[in-house]
Amino acid sequence: MKFLMVSSYLPSVLNFRGKLLEAIHQQGYEIHIIAPDLSSFSDEYQKLRSLGYQVYSVPMQRTGTNPVTDLSTVFALYKLIHKIKPDCVLCYTIKPVIYGTLAAWLAKVPKRFALITGLGYAFQNVDQDSTRSIFQKLVHGLYRQALSHCSKTFFQNPDDLALFRALKLLQSNIPAVVVNGSGVNVSDFDVMPLPLNSQNQVAISFLLIARLLGDKGVREYAEAAAIIKKNHPDIQFNLVGWIDDNPTAITQLELDAWVNAGTLKYWGKLSDVRPAIAASSVYVLPSYREGTPRTVLEAMAMGRAVITTDAPGCRETVVDGDNGFLVEVKSIADLVEAMQKFIEQPELAIQMGKRSREIALNKYDVHQVNKHMMTEMGLL
């Protein structure tokens, strides 16, 4: 039996789907992986190969909608999938979901699954009644075609599923399942003590880990930090991430200005985010929309309180007033108010951090999430 995964970014196969592939492999399946740019990720490629997985390269641009290039991607995917002859395929992120699913259908793969991990730029400011751009209509039409050939579609929050149904991107006859994100391997993210000040009390500091995009709320985080620092100059605001090739990306000039002004401490892009989480007492993600944010789950597993938005994907991770606070999307005032609560009552970071760990264990453990997915795919 052969299981195929199609991805647009090889490192995410290990980081986000590694435990799922391991569990499927243990069920006796050969594991096959298709992704672009293998030469750029030799360490990940070698790691996957060392696990006994077959890894194939395919031309695929993560961004852009050049029809000639995308058509060549579909053809290359079809040729590879026809050669591999998998019993089951799982595609995730936009281009693999669209082109991988269509190619798998053309290659007559018996079981075809899509995982919607987040909606991204093609769904920005989109709801059932809103006007959509030509680009958005194109992408949504492609989604509709691809998902019509799925055996089942997985979503990481109920809001995304509801939107796909409302926009008629997912036909009523296609089964859909909501899973608790990608899960987190809680054994890899141990609870770490909160940082202390010179009086041996909890030192409140904040952290955001994200691709440096506008719709991750990076600008709101920086503006809130600047406001807080006027009255509390010693409070540290940490930022981990990188500038991405995306229409909403933060510019290098903006980042440099925040760092040079002392507003943010920039850690760069980290392959291991645990040191940054350990150095911070409260995790902040002011994102406009997510699938289920993995960084929040990792911070929760390490016993950190969370401030995030009352937005799809984000709101599922926080019970307001229990393991953190929910704030309105794009509201700098709300963000400042929530941060101020931790500064005035540092003990909240301890209490809410404990609850975050409990929620991570009970709801987001990666083994539970993977078991749910595998059951729904008929692999158990």
Does the residue 199 lie in any domain? Answer: no
163 with 271, same domain: the answer is: no
Q: What number is the average pLDDT over the span 328-350?
A: 98
pLDDT category at 133 given cuts 50, 70, 90 is confident
User: What is the percent of the chain where pLDDT is above 70?
Assistant: 97
Q: Can you spell out the DSSP letters for 282-341?
A: EEEE--S--SS-HHHHHHHHTT-EEEEESSTTTGGG--BTTTEEEE-TT-HHHHHHHHHH
Find the range with the poorest average confidence among 124-128, 230-234, 266-270. Answer: 124-128
pLDDT at 67: 65
264 with 146, same domain: the answer is: no
Using the predicted structure, report yes or no on whether residue 123 has a pLDDT greater than 90.
no
Provide the β-strand partners of residue 176.
Answer: 153
How far is 53 from 42, CA to CA, in rounded Å?
Answer: 14
Phi first, then psi: give them for residue 178, nearest 5 degrees.
-95, 125
Does the residue 101 lie in any domain? Answer: yes
Using the predicted structure, report yes or no on whether residue 124 has a pLDDT greater than 90.
no
Q: Is the dihedral of CA 360, 362, 365, 370 positive or negative?
A: negative
pLDDT category at 127 given cuts 50, 70, 90 is low
Q: Dihedral through CA 88, CA 91, CA 95, CA 99, nearest 10?
A: 10
| CATH code of the domain in which 166 resides | 3.40.50.2000
Find the range with the poorest average confidence among 64-73, 134-143, 228-237, 305-314. Answer: 64-73
Using the predicted structure, report yes or no on whether residue 128 has a pLDDT greater than 60.
no
pLDDT at 66: 66
pLDDT category at 129 given cuts 50, 70, 90 is low
Burial class (CB in 10 A: 0-12, 13-18, 19+), 90: buried
371 with 336, same domain: the answer is: no
36 with 174, same domain: the answer is: yes
pLDDT category at 154 given cuts 50, 70, 90 is very high
Q: What number is the average pLDDT over the span 67-74?
A: 82
Using the predicted structure, report yes or no on whether residue 62 has a pLDDT greater than 70.
no
Using the predicted structure, report yes or no on whether residue 120 has a pLDDT greater than 70.
yes
How far is 147 from 270, CA to CA, in rounded Å?
Answer: 34
251 with 261, same domain: the answer is: yes
Q: What number is the average pLDDT over the span 148-175?
A: 94
| Residue of 212, 213, 234 lying closest to 225 (CA atoms) | 234
How far is 217 from 379, CA to CA, in rounded Å?
Answer: 38
pLDDT category at 101 given cuts 50, 70, 90 is very high
266 with 345, same domain: the answer is: yes
pLDDT at 199: 84
pLDDT category at 118 given cuts 50, 70, 90 is confident
pLDDT category at 137 given cuts 50, 70, 90 is confident
For the segment 5-46, what is each residue's pLDDT rounded down to a tens digit? Answer: 999 999 999 999 999 999 999 999 999 999 999 999 999 999
pLDDT category at 134 given cuts 50, 70, 90 is confident
Q: What number is the average pLDDT over the span 307-328?
A: 97
Number of structural domains (the chain) is 2
168 with 291, same domain: the answer is: no
pLDDT category at 182 given cuts 50, 70, 90 is very high
Q: What number is the average pLDDT over the span 83-107?
A: 97
287 with 369, same domain: the answer is: no
pLDDT category at 131 given cuts 50, 70, 90 is confident
Q: What number is the average pLDDT over the span 108-123?
A: 91
Q: What number is the average pLDDT over the span 304-331?
A: 97
174 with 214, same domain: the answer is: no
Does the residue 307 lie in any domain? Answer: yes
How far is 297 from 292, CA to CA, in rounded Å?
Answer: 8
264 with 168, same domain: the answer is: no
The range of the structural domain enclosing residue 356 comes to 205-363
170 with 219, same domain: the answer is: no
53 with 146, same domain: the answer is: yes
Q: Which residue has the tokens 């030192």?
A: 203
